[in-house]
Structure 1
């Protein structure tokens, strides 16, 4: 997809209205996305997709956790299902991609290969967070931005995702942003909050301190690494069902990098397949050499170059489907860069950043009198 063709949905109504607008505008894309998701899902022999959806929802506490921590999100998901003319349970399950994988013990070698980096702001220079989002090529052409306006203070949250899904990552006009990458090895918790809901709950926080508190205290359903940044700091949390471990790159607090294997968390119960382990470690080496070894504040231009890196032809940070014929299933469906300083902005490329142009999006702060 060309970035300039990526839909940007302005959501300023009630949660149900926002979801219904999402579903109606992207009805065809949501049907195509869910169909492709179903066809590419890996399930144990003898398990049908409808049974898997029912089991995932009924045998876990995911819905109860969403009700407890961010109930408006269930209304939004119901609205998506209504607007798109899709079964509600199917749309609910679509939000649970990470959870479905460990629930059915899917240790597919194609598992997520996202790469994330962050640098704290210094003086007038903003904090900056960057991420390549690598998922199945089924998601290409389905990229979308959600611009969510809070009626309480008119602040905006900009969320990157695909049609029908509530979140992959995002940044808040209140001065903080969040990227994440899968850590399938960590213990899951079937009574925890799913990843997509954690992203939305964190971004719905009123302050950066509240957002970080949410990440630290909420029960996590799936192993996931979160790179969190505000105007004053950058934090990296490896989160799983058994707890949280904070990763720092050596003794430094100014820059952080991460891929798809735990760097400090000790509760890794699922082994990493050899291909994904090789990919994760080689990408981490690229991020270390190009980004973490540097000092001082980062810049948008530097982060673009890091996310475009193809240092190893088989396991690059930036994955291009046309070049990477050894694994055509996999691709970088987007690169996002958040700049968080006196103003907040997002740069997004709707595809591999070597092949797609970045477009800048401003994110409005709260009203001063709110």
Structure 2
């Protein structure tokens, strides 16, 4: 597939405001980005088909699609409201609902079927900072979102103003539910991918995050992570004005950490002793380098939004750096960056790597 080429002009982050019921918000999303969603689904299906043909010749591609459909059914029972929005998106875009769910949650569906692919195909870097390490004495949290370089063309910030429930902002791909974002209560959420054996049919990670972002506190968001019938391994984080916490989860269990006096940095390999032996692949150089680099940066303290933008732009480790470019030819690139300050209800985001995107604050309407 062709790699995106940066022409020197900062990437502008597109935004979409939707309102009404969950179904109405989804339908408005689907109608507004119909052409892009159709292309996104086709691109993701092509990528999945190519991967399976090369590495899993004995597995029928239809199994991948059927598994996605099964996971959608589980999500519909677990979170009817969130799934209603997904159905509305598919309806508005004129695409098959199960296929859209499958490609949106592709890493989870894939990991249920097979041992994960080589570690150069994905990776995010997240941070959680307690008040003691920030200039303003307030919690800061955020992450890069790194995945397929071709996904850059489909990045979208969605502003949801529902009839019921909290107003939210989330940044991800067209046609998708929440990936990273914040709600009107100042609760922010996000994730990085890890790979642990033992995946199963269950809740896809975007469905889980879409439920988390409707929580009133970080602890409520955390309980959602703990109790969900998860399909695969991830790390999840949640922050509010009072603190920040992170979960390293497999499909079966979880380990919880809190950013109290020390920062938490995370990339894409397991740290919990019970998960390390079950990791689907050795820790790769990128994940280790990014974790070490972000840890060094965070430990210096006195951070603010500007210093964290610079952290996300770090290129000290070449192709293993926090900022990941398509031309690195590593199979992944930074598609967006998000920084949140929950106490002030501030969410800042850009499309692409930090130094290539035009950063903007995403504003809430409600008090």
Same fold (TM over 0.5): yes
| Structure 2 CA distance for aligned equivalents of residues 271 and 205 of structure 1 | 30
| Structure 2 CA distance for aligned equivalents of residues 108 and 207 of structure 1 | 35
User: After TM superposition, which residue ranges in structure 1, 4 or more long, deviate above 6 angstroms?
Assistant: 1-4
User: What is aligned with 1:294?
Assistant: 300
Among 16, 20, 28, the residue aligned to 1:21: 28
- Closer, same or farther: CA 147–208 of 1 in aligned 2, 3 Å: same
1:304 aligns with 2:309: yes
Among 323, 326, 332, the residue aligned to 1:318: 323
Query: 5 Å matches for 1:48-63?
Result: 48-58=60-70, 62-63=71-72
Among 64, 89, 105, the residue aligned to 2:98: 89
**Contact in 1 for aligned 2:18/2:159 (Cα 8 Å):** yes
**Structure 2, gaps ≥5 residues long:** 1-5
| Structure 2 CA distance for aligned equivalents of residues 330 and 87 of structure 1 | 27
**Contact in 2 for aligned 1:3/1:359 (Cα 8 Å):** no
| Structure 1 CA distance for aligned equivalents of residues 131 and 255 of structure 2 | 23
Query: 5 Å matches for 1:32-71?
Result: 32-41=39-48, 42-43=51-52, 44-58=56-70, 62-71=71-80
Query: 5 Å matches for 1:137-148?
Result: 137-148=149-160
| Structure 2 CA distance for aligned equivalents of residues 45 and 270 of structure 1 | 24
The structural deviation recorded for 1:241 is 1.2
The structural deviation recorded for 1:126 is 2.6
| Structure 1 CA distance for aligned equivalents of residues 121 and 273 of structure 2 | 19
Among 182, 185, 192, the residue aligned to 1:181: 192
**Contact in 2 for aligned 1:145/1:158 (Cα 8 Å):** yes
Residue deviations 1:44-87 (CA, integer Å, cap 9, x gap): 215454442124424xxx33432333101222122111111112
Corresponding residue SS for 2:147: strand
| Structure 2 CA distance for aligned equivalents of residues 52 and 219 of structure 1 | 19
| Structure 1 CA distance for aligned equivalents of residues 261 and 230 of structure 2 | 24
The structural deviation recorded for 1:347 is 0.9
Query: Normalized against structure 2, the TM-score is what?
Result: 0.88
Corresponding residue SS for 1:363: coil
**Structure 1, gaps ≥5 residues long:** none
The structural deviation recorded for 1:133 is 0.6
User: What is aligned with 1:207?
Assistant: 217
Query: Normalized against structure 1, the TM-score is what?
Result: 0.88
**Contact in 1 for aligned 2:270/2:279 (Cα 8 Å):** no
User: What is aligned with 1:9?
Assistant: 16
Residue deviations 1:250-279 (CA, integer Å, cap 9, x gap): xx54411000111125134654545x5211
Corresponding residue SS for 2:158: strand
| Structure 2 CA distance for aligned equivalents of residues 106 and 305 of structure 1 | 35
Residue deviations 1:168-211 (CA, integer Å, cap 9, x gap): 11111112111210111253232x32211110111112333322
**Contact in 1 for aligned 2:24/2:88 (Cα 8 Å):** yes
Query: 5 Å matches for 1:72-111?
Result: 72-109=81-118, 110-111=120-121
| Structure 2 CA distance for aligned equivalents of residues 67 and 321 of structure 1 | 36
Q: How many residues align?
A: 352
Query: 5 Å matches for 1:218-237?
Result: 218-237=228-247
**Contact in 1 for aligned 2:26/2:86 (Cα 8 Å):** yes
